[in-house]
Amino acid sequence: MIYLGDFAADTAQVDFSFNTRTAAGAPVALVGGGLAVYKDDATTALGLTMDNHLAAVATGQYNVTVYITQESSPFVAGSDYKVVLSAGTVDGTSVAGTVLAQFSVENRYTEAGGDAETLAAIKAKTDTIGAGTITVTSPVTATGDVTIIQGDTYSASEVAWTDSGNTWPADLDTATSILCCIADEAELACTYAADTNTLDALSCVETAALAAGRYPYWLEAQWDGDPDTIKTIGRGTFSITHERPEVTA
C-alpha cells in the first residue's frame, strides 16, 4: 500500500498506479478487477461508481483515478480514505480486499505563517525537478515520493524511477556515480539502464538502519574529474515507516 498524501478539499482528482505480478515476478493481468473506497475505519464502501476508474496501461500495469470534487461528492475534509480492490484475481489467486493506496482530505495540518495549510498545499509549493515527467514503479508514486517499511528488503525493481520525459542528461550512462540521497540519513547507490531510461536503487536492501520519518531526497549524478559535473535529476519525499511489530506466541 502507498500513502498518496493529504489533499485540499478542492483537489479535482487523485491518481496513482500499481502493478500485478506472478509469484516469480513476471507482469500478469488483473482478471475481473473492481475498486472500492472506504472512509476512515468504515466497513462499508462509499457509494461510488468505480468501474471506469481502473485503466490498464500494459500487462500488469494499471492506473487508478479517484475524483474528489464531483457532484454529491462523499469526500469531506478531516478524513482518510482507502482505495481497495473489491474483486479480481492475479495469477489465479483472489486479491479481493487488497488495499492499494490511502490518502486524506485536509486531515493533516501544519502551521505556516500563522495560517493553517495542508501538507498537500505545502508540497504543491515545493514540487521538485522532474515532476510530471517521471513514471515510476511501486513503492515510488507518480509524484516521485517513496514509502518503505523500516527493516524490510526491497529488490532493485521495487525502488525505481523512469525518465519518460527524457529530461535526464544524455550521457547519464557515463556517470561515475548515481545516488539517491535521503537528507542526512543515507546515500543509496543507483544503477542506470540506458535502454529503458530507468534508475534502480540497488542498495536499498538494508533498511533497518534508516530512521523512521519523512525526508526530502534527491537523485544526484556525478562525473569524476570535474567537480562542476554534479547534476540533480530528480527530487521527492522519502517516507520510512516504523518496522512491523514482531509476532509473539
Please report which helix (H) or strand (E) contains residue 161, including its range. strand 160-163
Of 85 and 160, which is predicted with more confidence? Answer: 85
Q: Are residues 53 and 112 in the same domain?
A: yes
Q: Which residues, 6+ apart, have CB-to-CB distance to 158 below 8 Å? A: 137, 138, 139, 204
Rounded to a whole number, what is the distance in angstroms from the first to the last CA of the chain? 27
Average pLDDT, rounded, for the chain? 78
Average pLDDT over residues 137-143: 58
As a whole number, mean pLDDT of residues 209-224 equals: 85
Question: Cβ atoms within 10 A of the Cβ of 188, count?
Answer: 25
Q: Please state the domain count of the chain.
A: 2
Asked whether residue 5 carries a pLDDT value surpassing 50, the answer given is yes
- 109/178 same-domain check: no
Whole-model pTM: value is: 0.46
Give domain status of residue 248, yes or no: no
Give the model confidence (pLDDT) of 9-23 as tens digits: 888 888 888 889 888
Segment of 124-133, 184-193, 219-228 carrying the highest mean pLDDT: 184-193
Would you call 89 helix, strand, or coil by DSSP? strand
Q: Which three cell numbers stand for residue 227?
A: 567537480
Residue 76 sits in the same domain as residue 162: no
Rg of the chain over Cα atoms, rounded to whole angstroms, equals 19
Residues 6+ apart with CB under 8 A from 104: 5, 6, 7, 79, 80, 81
Q: Looking at mean pLDDT, say which of 2-11, 88-97, 210-219 comes out highest.
A: 88-97
Residue span of the structural domain in which 76 resides: 2-117
Q: For position 244, what pLDDT does the model report?
A: 60
Query: Does residue 67 or residue 109 have the better pLDDT?
Result: 67
- pLDDT for residue 115: 44
Higher-scoring residue by pLDDT: 41, 119? 41
% of residues, the chain, pLDDT over 90: 13
- Report yes or no: 192 and 199 within 8 Å, Cβ to Cβ: yes
Q: Indicate the range of 11-15, 37-41, 82-86, 210-214 predicted with least confidence.
A: 210-214
Q: Which CATH number is 167's domain given? A: 2.60.40
* Domain's final residue, options 71, 88, 117: 117
159: DSSP letter: S
Distance CA 246, CA 249 (A): 10
